[in-house]
Amino acid sequence: MLFHFEIKKAVKKKIIFILLIIMLLSVCVLFYFYQVQNRNQVDFQLEMQQENIRSIKSAITEVKADPVASSKKGEVLQEYKRDLKLAEGTLEAIKKKETKKKLFYQIKEKENLLEDLEKGNTYTSDPVWKIKQDLALQRVVYQKGYDYNEMGYATDSYSFSRDILKLLFPYVFIFFVLLVTANIVGGDIESRKLRFYWALPLKRNNLMTSKILATFLISFVSLMLLVTGAFLLGALGGSKGHFDYPVVVQTAQNNFKLVDIGLFIIQFFILAIFTVFFLVVLFECLMLLCRNSIIVISIILGLIFLTNFLIGFAKNLTGLLVVINPFSYTNITAIIDGSLAVQTGQAINWAVGSIILFLYTVTLFFLSKLLLKKEELVY
């Protein structure tokens, strides 16, 4: 009964829907930007490949012009001719929009590059582990018969949804959650309407729990709408995507594994559930103490920003900071893709983050029950 009452109250507040509509429109604009980038990417690839072919032909001419004859010269010349054949094949595939064939040539190019690097016949600014990572990803994509987008502006359903999640956390969607919480939980505390509710035959804990659950439901449904919108945009654009499309997850420094993108998104949502619950209960406790939504929002966002700043710059502090600091788990994408674990050297993942956030949430929940018993904080 109380839960339905809080939901109805929230629905009547236009600010929540206005913010949600703004975010949904932003997703649409971003998808259009991705499509434009994809179209421009074809022209860019053509120019790059043509320049690559000219460069290889020039190198072949220089090698042939060298008057010194040696076995090394013949070996280098054969490598250039091999690279030229692959480059011309790639160019032809790009012109004909044969994505599978283009990916085949790209795989061969990377395999040849690694072979040349081992022989000491060439040099590249890219680290070897990065080349091997890209090659492993390309091989799996090719084996599964999927399209490969090396430019990073994938418009298929799953890839675009993943990119949206990366943009939403750790700040944009959390700010939205805090505003929703301020309207549902903080509004009655700040306006002292709790005095009215306490006069009714209602249990205080039941009332506040209904507010927390209503806030969580609206926040989570909003997140689902944003991801669903991104997914549908990809599908309507003609690229439905695949649940088992491989994505890279860092496991250690210069090491990685490939997981299905569907699993990536599922793990994201599990950690997001615990993150939202933690933020809502934390907001309630801070509101009972200071009665000012702006101050509470500023404190929480400030702590999130400070945590990410310290993780990025204070390497010697990151061990303990990441493991026990709940705000480090708001950077959900960095946890799911393993980059945060590699950066800090800590064995953290979505499961560890969920447990840590659950423990903090339970602690804060019981603290809020104690605060609600203090009349000076309520009246």
Query: Could you give the CA distance from residue 56 to residue 323 in angstroms, rounded to a whole number?
Result: 50
Type of residue at 307: T
Would you place residue 51 in the very low, low, confident or very high pLDDT band (cuts 50, 70, 90)? very high
Question: What distance lies between CA 376 and its chain's CA centroid?
Answer: 43
- Residue 372, C-beta contacts closer than 8 angstroms, at least 6 positions apart: 204, 205, 208, 288, 378
What's the confidence (pLDDT) of residue 196? Answer: 65
Would you place residue 341 in the very low, low, confident or very high pLDDT band (cuts 50, 70, 90)? confident
Q: Which residue has the tokens 């699993």?
A: 263
Concatenated DSSP letters for 15-30?
HHHHHHHHHHHHHHHH
Question: What distance lies between CA 6 and its chain's CA centroid?
Answer: 31
What percentage of the chain has pLDDT greater than the value 70? Answer: 90
For the chain, how many residues are written?
A: 379
What's the confidence (pLDDT) of residue 116? Answer: 82
What's the confidence (pLDDT) of residue 298? Answer: 96
CB atoms within 10 A of CB 84: 17
Would you place residue 352 in the very low, low, confident or very high pLDDT band (cuts 50, 70, 90)? very high
Q: What is the pLDDT of residues 136-154, one digit of tens each?
A: 999 999 998 887 877 677 7
Q: What is the mean pLDDT of residues 58-79?
A: 79
Query: Could you give the CA distance from residue 213 to residue 368 in angstroms, rounded to a whole number?
Result: 15
- Residue 317, C-beta contacts closer than 8 angstroms, at least 6 positions apart: 310
Q: What is the mean pLDDT of residues 223-229?
A: 91
Q: Which two tokens stand for residue 35?
A: 């499509």
Question: What residues pair up with 250 in beta bridges, in sequence order?
Answer: 256
Is the predicted pLDDT of residue 270 greater than 90, yes or no? Answer: yes
CB atoms within 10 A of CB 87: 21
The torsion of the CA quartet 226, 227, 233, 236, rounded to 10 degrees, works out to: -130
Q: Is the CA virtual torsion 65, 68, 74, 76 positive or negative?
A: negative
Model confidence, pTM: 0.86
Of the listed ranges 18-32, 284-298, 334-348, 360-374, the one predicted with least confidence = 334-348
Would you place residue 217 in the very low, low, confident or very high pLDDT band (cuts 50, 70, 90)? very high
What percentage of the chain has pLDDT greater than the value 90? Answer: 34
Is the predicted pLDDT of residue 252 greater than 90, yes or no? Answer: no
Task: Kindly give the pairing relationship between strand 246-252 and strand 255-260.
Answer: antiparallel
Of the listed ranges 4-8, 161-165, 273-277, the one predicted with least confidence = 4-8
Q: Which two tokens stand for residue 291?
A: 């009665």
User: Average model confidence (pLDDT) for the chain?
Assistant: 85
Residue 246 exposure: Cα atoms within 13 Å on the Cβ side: 21
List the one residue out of 27, 365, 43, 318 whose CA is nearest residue 205.
365
Of the listed ranges 106-110, 317-321, 341-345, 371-375, the one predicted with least confidence = 317-321
Q: What is the mean pLDDT of residues 210-216?
A: 90
List the one residue out of 351, 210, 222 whose CA is nearest residue 274.
351
| SS3 of residue 252 by DSSP | strand
Q: Which two tokens stand for residue 336?
A: 């799911």
Query: Could you give the CA distance from residue 122 to residue 131 in angstroms, rounded to a whole number?
Result: 14
Q: What is the mean pLDDT of residues 182-209?
A: 73
What's the confidence (pLDDT) of residue 276? Answer: 95
Query: Could you give the CA distance from residue 321 to residue 58 in angstroms, rounded to a whole number?
Result: 54
Would you place residue 267 in the very low, low, confident or very high pLDDT band (cuts 50, 70, 90)? very high
Element of type H or E holding 159: helix 157-167
Q: What is the mean pLDDT of residues 224-236?
A: 87
Q: What is the pLDDT of residues 281-318, one digit of tens each?
A: 999 999 988 889 999 999 999 999 998 888 877 555 55
Is the predicted pLDDT of residue 199 greater than 90, yes or no? Answer: no
